[in-house]
Amino acid sequence: MAIPLTEQAPDEREPTAPLRYSTVWDADHPPVAEARQAVRALLTRAGHPPEHRASQDAELVVSELVTNAYRHAPGPGGLELEVIPDAALLRIAVRDGSPRPPEPRDRDARRVGGHGLHLVTQLCAQLHTIALETGKQVVAHLHLPGRN
């Protein structure tokens, strides 16, 4: 279930209110494409068009975190995105049903796959895991420099 972005004209939106998006998914539907589309739309509204590096980095981070949750913790999950009011930071939170925190794999240039968490840690200012009663939430903070 997706909670759509609020449809307000920019001058109607409270200047101190963050832009938010959230969705949940079940075990049968991989949500990766929808997650990329959601972060693209949210950042466009915040003044970071898709062709800007910040938006592309955000799509990569969201894609990696949602893919990991879906692949390594089958079952329901969720995504929450929040752009703080000055549009300089994106908070990404991905929930899943596994209590195990993500673990970066050893670097191996010959291996296909297993590099995503290294990319996420390089792109994000902060990455941490919060233990929940039924699983975990992985939270990433991505700085969004320069906007239109």
Looking at the domain 18-104+114-143, which fold is it? Heat Shock Protein 90 (3.30.565)
pTM of the predicted protein model: 0.83
Domain ranges of the chain: 18-104+114-143
Question: What pLDDT, on the 0 to 100 scale, is given for residue 15?
Answer: 53
Residue by residue, pLDDT tens for the chain (148 residues) are 444 444 343 444 445 678 999 999 887 777 899 999 999 999 999 999 999 999 999 999 999 999 999 888 878 999 999 999 888 999 999 999 999 988 877 776 676 666 678 899 999 999 999 999 999 999 999 999 876 5
CA of 124: how far to CAs of 72, 74, 76, 91, 118, in Å? 21, 25, 25, 10, 10
What pairing do the DSSP bridges indicate for beta strands 89-96 and 126-132?
unpaired
Find the radius of gyration of the CA atoms of the chain. 15
